């Protein structure tokens, strides 16, 4: 669904231009990419209407609107095609779709949390704590995805291929237990299947 449809506006100049940058972001966080491209401050100036923000920055409002209209609305995840995938295809889907999304969006969020913390942290110390915690989360997510992609998912693929006799490699499990390399740093070195 496009932005103009999201706002049920046949005449975009009558409605969408009066929405604030914050209101647009609340409806679709992907608008942040467009706003950043044009250096529209949706943090401290989020209460400005789209038209005002464009006017103040000498940006063609219709150009921004066109890009916003090309965004899809982010709603509850309704694409269930992955439910019918085999395990190997599902792993590939997780890596390309979910891990790809996280790799792209986490640095953007990290940048914004640091900017907000540097601007507002002195007056609101909780913002500094949010930035600190997010930094930890960011590092943990990167490490988590690396472990999945380099250790766990290849082992699961090897299990599937071995169970389907598609691989002549030695089965990476014994009596229903998956052997995990030491680098996984689990409390236990096995995962029961």
pLDDT for the residue numbered 158: 86
Give 53-97 pLDDT, tens digit per residue.
Answer: 999 999 998 888 888 888 765 544 445 565 667 889 889 989 998
Strands of 173-174's sheet in order across = 173-174, 177-179, 190-192
Q: Are strands 173-174 and 177-179 parallel, antiparallel or unpaired?
A: antiparallel
Report the alpha-carbon distance of residue 29 to residue 34 in Å, rounded.
10
List the single range of 67-71, 126-130, 132-136 with lowest mean pLDDT.
67-71
% residues pLDDT > 70 (the chain):
71
pLDDT for the residue numbered 168: 58
- Is 2's pLDDT higher than 50? no
Q: What is the pTM of this model?
A: 0.60
Give 146-169 pLDDT, tens digit per residue.
Answer: 999 999 999 889 888 887 776 555
Report the alpha-carbon distance of residue 60 to residue 51 in Å, rounded.
9
Query: Which residue segments constitute the domains of the chain, with CATH numbers given?
Result: 3-69 (1.10.3910), 81-192 (no CATH)
């Amino acid at each position: 669904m496009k932005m103009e449809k999201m706002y049920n506006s046949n005449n975009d100049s009558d409605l969408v231009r009066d929405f604030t940058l914050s209101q647009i972001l609340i409806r679709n966080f992907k608008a942040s990419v467009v706003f950043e491209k044009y250096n529209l401050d949706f943090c401290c100036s989020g209460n400005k209407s789209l038209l005002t923000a464009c006017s103040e920055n000498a940006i063609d409002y219709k150009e921004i609107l066109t890009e916003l209209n090309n965004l899809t609305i982010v709603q509850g995840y309704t694409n269930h095609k992955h439910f019918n995938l085999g395990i190997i295809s599902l792993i590939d889907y997780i890596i390309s779709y979910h891990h790809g999304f996280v790799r792209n969006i986490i640095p953007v969020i990290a940048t914004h949390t640091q900017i907000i913390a540097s601007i507002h942290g002195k007056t609101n110390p909780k913002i500094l704590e949010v930035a600190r915690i997010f930094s930890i989360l960011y590092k943990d997510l990167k490490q988590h995805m690396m472990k999945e992609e380099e250790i766990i998912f290849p082992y699961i693929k090897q299990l599937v291929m071995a169970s389907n006799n598609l691989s002549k490699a030695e089965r990476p499990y014994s009596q229903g237990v998956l052997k995990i390399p030491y680098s996984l740093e689990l409390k236990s070195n096995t995962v029961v299947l």
